[in-house]
């Protein structure tokens, strides 16, 4: 199969392309870092010629980036319109469990969306754009839980954990996240079996609390499994005084929210988690050590 992957040089894109190539698929890479822009319709038209499937990962996450809405929404509109025009067999859009906002209950694909941040709202809008074409080509939506793996975000999180920085919340919230390698597995399953017009919520099976996750991570790093908690406003104040970029109100909300997901639908499709969470933590910390020792291979 000839597959176009947008956001091909990103965190998910690199892992996905490696797996698809192992499965003998032909990959067309599409990324702003290689001079291709989803806001440029000519770039899209050229890249999509003779493509069988499109996996649309490209997006801006940073809510302070002025281009977020244009790239996430207008870019998705450009990609799906060209896919319909060229009669692509399969279109997969990577959305986010963030569309549920701050829902404190166990959620599934039928749970109403309550997006809060601009990023979350852009994903809701983009989902609707894609689903408008479900009768023209086969389209599937993936709502991924918070991604976990060796990227810059988790490098920062583990740095503050290692230094004994307290949690800006109780840490009792369910912290059901998604290892990037297992997200790739889920994408492959949906590529093979996903039904048109369907949305699939994907996450790891294990439902640890945030505090359990942090304690285990500290243990893997060779630190005492002790994690303290303080009010969020204190962490924000410390962040301002020390210049700690990760200690923002939005990042704290993102970390402290309830993440409790029912993933029966994707499991019925054939998805199975391959990496236990503790194994993923060990692998991620080792990968971060390797990239820290060799900065030339960092993102």
Mean pLDDT of successive 10-residue stretches along the chain, which has 299 residues: 97 97 98 96 97 98 94 98 97 97 93 95 98 97 97 92 88 96 98 97 97 97 92 76 71 86 97 97 96 54
Whether 232 is in a domain gets the answer: no
User: How far, in Å, CA of 268 to CA of 251, rounded?
Assistant: 33
Position 9 in a domain: yes
Contact (Cβ atoms closer than 8 angstroms) between residue 168 and residue 252:
yes
Question: Domain range holding 89?
Answer: 2-148+176-204+260-274
Total-model pTM: 0.93
Q: Has residue 220 been placed in a domain?
A: no
**Rounded Cα–Cα distance for residues 104 and 168 (Å):** 18
Q: Is 154 within a domain?
A: no
In a domain, 225, yes or no: no
Tell me the CATH number at 112: 3.40.50.720
Residue 202: its pLDDT value, please? Answer: 98
Query: Is the distance from CB of 55 to CB of 4 less than 8 angstroms?
Result: yes
Instruction: Note whether 79 and 47 are within 8 A (CB).
Output: no
**165 domain-assigned:** no
Res 297: pLDDT: 38
Residue 263's Cβ-count burial label (10 Å; 0-12, 13-18, 19+) is: buried
Q: Which residues does residue 193 pair with via DSSP β-bridges, in sequence order?
A: none
Query: At which residue do the structure tokens 């392309």 appear?
Result: 17
- What angle is formed at CA 14 by the lines to CA 8 and CA 17, rounded to 5 degrees? 80
- Coil, helix or strand for 170? coil
The total domain count for the chain is: 1
d(CA 299, CA 296): 8
Q: What local confidence, expressed as pLDDT, does residue 243 receive?
A: 67
CA nearest 252: which of 142, 196, 173?
Answer: 173
Q: Take residue 130 and report the two structure tokens written for it.
A: 């894609």
**Any domain includes 113:** yes
Is 31 part of a structural domain of the chain? yes
């Amino acid at each position: 199969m000839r597959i176009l992957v947008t956001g091909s040089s990103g965190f998910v894109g690199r892992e996905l392309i490696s797996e698809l190539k192992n499965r003998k698929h032909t990959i067309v890479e599409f990324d702003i870092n290689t001079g291709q822009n989803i806001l440029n319709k000519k770039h899209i038209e050229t890249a999509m010629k003779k493509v069988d499937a499109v996996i649309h990962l490209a997006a801006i996450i940073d809510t302070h980036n002025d281009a977020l809405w244009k790239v996430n929404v207008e870019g998705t509109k450009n990609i799906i319109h060209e896919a319909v025009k060229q009669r692509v067999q399969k279109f997969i859009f990577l959305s986010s469990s963030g569309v549920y906002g701050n829902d404190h209950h166990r959620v599934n694909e039928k749970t109403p969306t309550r997006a809060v941040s601009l990023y979350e709202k852009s994903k809701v809008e983009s989902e609707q754009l894609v689903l408008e074409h479900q009768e023209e080509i086969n389209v599937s939506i993936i709502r991924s839980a918070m991604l976990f793996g060796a990227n810059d975000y988790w490098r920062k999180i583990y740095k503050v954990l290692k230094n004994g920085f307290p949690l800006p919340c109780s840490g009792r919230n369910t912290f059901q996240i998604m290892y990037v390698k297992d997200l790739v597995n889920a994408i492959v399953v949906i590529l093979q079996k996903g039904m048109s017009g369907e949305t699939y919520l994907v996450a790891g099976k294990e439902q640890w609390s945030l505090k359990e996750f942090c304690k285990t991570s500290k243990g893997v790093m060779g630190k005492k499994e002790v994690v303290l908690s303080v009010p969020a406003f204190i962490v924000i104040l410390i962040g301002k005084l020390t210049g700690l970029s990760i200690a923002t109100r939005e990042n704290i909300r993102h970390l402290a929210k309830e993440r409790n997901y029912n993933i029966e639908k994707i499991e019925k499709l054939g998805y199975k988690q391959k990496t236990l969470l503790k194994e993923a933590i060990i692998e991620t910390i080792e990968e971060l050590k390797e990239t820290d020792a060799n900065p030339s291979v960092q993102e």
